[in-house]
Amino acid sequence: MMTLLTLAAILFSASVVLLLGLGDPKRRRSARAGAGHRATVRQLLSLLALLPGMAFLVHGDAAAFLLWLGGAAVAGWVVALALATISDPKGVRRRDH
């Protein structure tokens, strides 16, 4: 049960991180994809992504907090890689050896 709850928290934060990445102004500028989210939207989404972690902290569940933090970090990196691959597939092939 606890594992499922932690997994759900990681998935929730990863989904919000995906939204953040999709609307990230600097990423969109470099991909020539137009303007991104406004600062207020980004701040709200960031807060939303951090909510599960804060809940685990308040609840005093150290294991779930660590799992969420690590899982969200890995998911964030994967989201950044995936968005770069989608927006610039040729870049991947050119850059890699």
Partner 1 sequence: MIHLAKDKTKAMVAVHGWSGILLGLLLYAVVLTGTVAVFAEEIGAWSAGHLATRSAFQRPMADTLRQLGDETPAKYREAVDLFETGDHDLGLFFHRHEMDGGELISRGIFYVVGQDGRIVHRQTGTNEDVYGARNDNALSAFLVDTHVRLHVPNPWGLLLTGILGLSMLVAAISGLLIHRHLFKDIFTLRRSGSPVLANRDAHSVAGTWSLPFAFVLAFTGSFFSFFGTIGVPVVAMAAFGGNVQALTEAVYGNPGKPDPRPAAIGNMDRINADAIARAGAIPTFVTIENFGRADAKVTTYHPPKAGAIAPMSLLYDGATAAFVQEKPLIGPKPSTGGTLAAIMSPLHFGNFAGLLSKAIWFGLGFAMCYVTYTGIRLWLVRREGGVRSFAWLERTNIVVGLGLPFTLAVSAAAFLLTMPIGSATWWTPAGFLIGAALVIAAGAIAPSAVRLSRWLRGATGMLLILLPPLRLLTGGPGWGIAITANQPIIVTLDIAFLLAGGWLLWQLRGRASAPSQSVALQPAE
| Minimum CB distance to partner 1 smaller for 51 or for 66 | 66
Name the minimum Å distance from CB 63 to partner 1: 5
Per CB under 8 A, 7 contacts partner 1: yes
Per CB under 8 A, 35 contacts partner 1: no
Among 9, 16, 20, 49, binds partner 1 (CB under 8 A): 20
Per CB under 8 A, 44 contacts partner 1: no
Per CB under 8 A, 66 contacts partner 1: yes
Per-residue burial over 27-45, b = 16 or more CB atoms within 10 Å of its CB, e = otherwise: bbeeeeeeebbeeeebeeb
CA distances from 79 to 14, 15, 86 (A): 8, 9, 10
**In whole angstroms, what is the distance from residue 6 CA to residue 81 CA?**
23
